[in-house]
């Protein structure tokens, strides 16, 4: 039977919504969507690049606190609100994740302008 745990993560963004930031199943981590938020869960608006980098920083903080890293990400799901941001998204993604890249799904037009970007992932410990 797989071992399931819900790591307690100090010094990572807090959400007031009903979900776990990360679930560990054996040596796999499933990280919930990370948005452009501050440590208290408040949305921090910016241009696409600023929001992308803040999301990835939040993701990385959770991965490190749970015993992993960006280099151990095997799959991402990325949510890009504006299709016009796709060139910047692909450039920033390629700067963040090195080849061979994680498996990826990208979903467009999903936030109605509230957020510009969000990312979740699966990673190994």
Measured in whole angstroms, how far is the alpha carbon of residue 98 from the centre of its chain? 16
What topology does CATH give the domain 20-124?
A: 60s Ribosomal Protein L30; Chain: A; (3.30.1330)
**pLDDT at site 15:** 83
Q: What's the whole-number average pLDDT of the chain?
A: 95
What pLDDT does residue 125 have? 97
Q: What is the reported pTM? A: 0.94
Query: In sequence order, which residues have a C-beta less than 8 Å from that of residue 116 and are 6 or more positions away?
Result: 36, 46, 47, 48, 51, 52, 80, 81, 82, 85
């Amino acid at each position: 039977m797989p071992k399931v745990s819900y790591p307690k993560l100090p010094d990572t963004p807090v959400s007031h919504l009903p979900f776990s930031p990360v679930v560990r199943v054996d040596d796999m981590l499933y990280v919930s969507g990370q948005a452009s938020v501050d440590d208290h869960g408040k949305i921090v608006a910016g241009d696409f690049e600023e929001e992308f980098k803040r999301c990835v920083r939040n993701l990385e903080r959770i991965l490190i606190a749970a015993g992993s890293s960006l280099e151990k990400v095997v799959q991402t799901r990325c949510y890009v609100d504006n299709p016009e941001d796709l060139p910047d998204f692909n450039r920033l993604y390629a700067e963040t994740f090195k080849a061979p890249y994680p498996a990826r799904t990208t979903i467009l037009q999903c936030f109605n302008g509230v957020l510009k970007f969000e990312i979740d992932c699966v990673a190994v410990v």
